[in-house]
Amino acid sequence: MSSKKEFILYIEDLTVSFDGFKAVDGLNLYVEKDELRVIIGPNGAGKTTVLDLICGKTQPTSGSVLFKDKELIGLSEHEIVREGVGRKFQTPSIYENLTVYENLEVSYPSGRGVLGCLAFKRSPEVVARIREVAKEIYLDHLLDAEGAILSHGQKQWLEIGMLLMQEPQLIMLDEPVAGMSPAEREQTAALLNRISKGRAIIIIEHDMEFVSRIAHRVTVLHLGKILAEGSMEQVQHNPKVIEVYLGH
């Protein structure tokens, strides 16, 4: 354990209940800068809910989420994004009626207010940044294609690209390789490894093989609580984890 490193995200005692059912129950989670954390766990463990709580989509019953020493609970989604948190959804969530270029442009972090939006101009920096990100996500040849005609995997990448445009310090990805071909997985793993430099990443993933290739650390959730935490190796051999997965 490298306790010297500084944490960018502190989650403490986070709890949310829906009509009495505790989907996340007293969760404590700490993520370092430059860390790529993977959260795994059986269905209904509360993985997606944790991401929802961090990014403000769901309000917790109690607990706190500190990001760069700032409390995120109570902020609305866009405010949390502006603090530097990016979130990708489980099903690819891009603007199908906009082109790849426009998808990225819309994600560029300026002209976000109504007036700023009216005054927004496509400056050389914006264009350069879009091209740079498009290249990163393997879509530089498809800039003028509408989102709707991209393949499933390309949509996933585009959404990651949209996050990158925002230059977040924390990226949260919900099953980024679901539905991808083996080749695309390969490229995605490389992409994730590249972008994890200089920022923290939290990923939810089911594919253990993929997890073992990218994860710095793994957290296992079960019934809204942390069952185990550590390297993939440690977690894989944890008897409680084995029991949960087999018993499931």
Stretch that binds other proteins, among 101-109, 131-139, 200-208, 232-240 (CB under 8 A): 101-109
The reply on whether position 107 binds other proteins by CB under 8 A is yes
Rounded-to-integer distance, Cα 76 and Cα 56, Å: 6
In the three-class reduction of DSSP (H, G, I as helix; E, B as strand; rest coil), residue 91 is classed as coil
Angstrom distance (rounded) from CA 23 to CA 50: 9
- Binding flag, residue 122, other proteins (CB under 8 A): yes
Binding status of residue 140 toward other proteins by CB under 8 A: no
Q: How far is the CB of 70 from other proteins (least distance, A)?
A: 15
Beta bridge partners of 40: 220
Cα–Cα distances in angstroms (integers) from residue 93 to residues 3, 18, 87, 204, 219, in the given order? 36, 25, 10, 16, 25
Residues contacting residue 62 through CB under 8 Å, at least 6 positions apart: 13, 14, 15
Per CB under 8 A, the list member of 6, 19, 69, 209 interacting with other proteins is: 19
Asked if 8 and 84 touch (Cβ cutoff 8 Å), the reply is no
245 binds other proteins (CB under 8 A): no
CA atoms within 13 A on the CB side of 46: 26
Question: Is 131 a binder of other proteins (CB under 8 A)?
Answer: no
Binding mask 20-49 for other proteins (x = CB under 8 A): ---x-------------------------x
Report, in Å, the least distance between residue 96 CB and other proteins. 6
Q: Determine, following the binding rule CB under 8 A, whether residue 174 of this chain makes contact with other proteins.
A: no
Q: Which residues bind other proteins (CB under 8 A)?
A: 18-19, 23, 49, 52, 55, 57-58, 76-78, 81-82, 86-87, 89, 93-98, 102, 105-107, 109, 111-114, 117-118, 120-122, 146, 148-149, 162, 166
